[in-house]
Chain A
Amino acid sequence: TQLLEQSPQFLSIQEGENLTVYCNSSSVFSSLQWYRQEPGEGPVLLVTVVTGGEVKKLKRLTFQFGDARKDSSLHITAAQPGDTGLYLCAGFSNSGYALNFGKGTSLLVTP
């Protein structure tokens, strides 16, 4: 199993602050995905990064895929309470169908 480690596990910040969460593995992934999950709901895909060194932006969210395709980061600028949720990174298993998820970073943004 290709393990994905996410850090930090929990993050509590105030509205307007910036933050970065990390997703690391000892394995190489063909792509990595970031999901956001709200309590009582399923994960929702935010982005897929495919190319080593790739940077993708989604409004105030910036995603980066490491050059070696073993790690990724998510940076949020000027966080808002609506950003609160569980952020999960995931990569496809060797079979190519199952997603392996990290444990997630639980983010709380207070007004």
Chain B
Amino acid sequence: DTGVSQDPRHKITKRGQNVTFRCDPISEHNRLYWYRQTLGQGPEFLTYFQNEAQLEKSRLLSDRFSAERPKGSFSTLEIQRTEQGDSAMYLCASSLGGWRARTSSTDTQYFGPGTRLTVL
């Protein structure tokens, strides 16, 4: 399977603990995105990388959240001092970007299966 993969698929943690999620994009995709989805809502954008550079962050990404993509391939999303309100599905997506994608408006994002976080 050469799609976007995420690990773990499920994570249960206690309030105050730190958690880290991993996303492996489709190979050759230079753009990577993180979204968060709560029950009854559509995904909400968190942050975007082009290669290793983090180019955009949503105001939803508080100081307790940090994302990295150190070598321009896989990415990690860390949440420090988790709160019950952080419980959600965390989705990663990747896209090809660059000249082959024509324009950003048609740059198709492929989503992974998500990591379901439950904070007790």
Contact = CB atoms under 8 A, between A and B. Distances in A.
A41 B112 CA distance: 7
Interface residues of B, number: 27
Contacts of A44: 111
B104 A96 contact: yes
| Main secondary structure on A side of the interface with B | loop
A52 interface: no
A24 interface: no
A44 B58 CA distance: 23
Interface residues of A, number: 25
A101 B106 contact: no
A88 B42 contact: yes
B4 A97 contact: no
Interface of A: 4, 30-31, 40-45, 48, 50, 88, 90, 92-93, 95-104
B45 interface: yes
Contact of A96 (B40, B58, B105, B112): B105
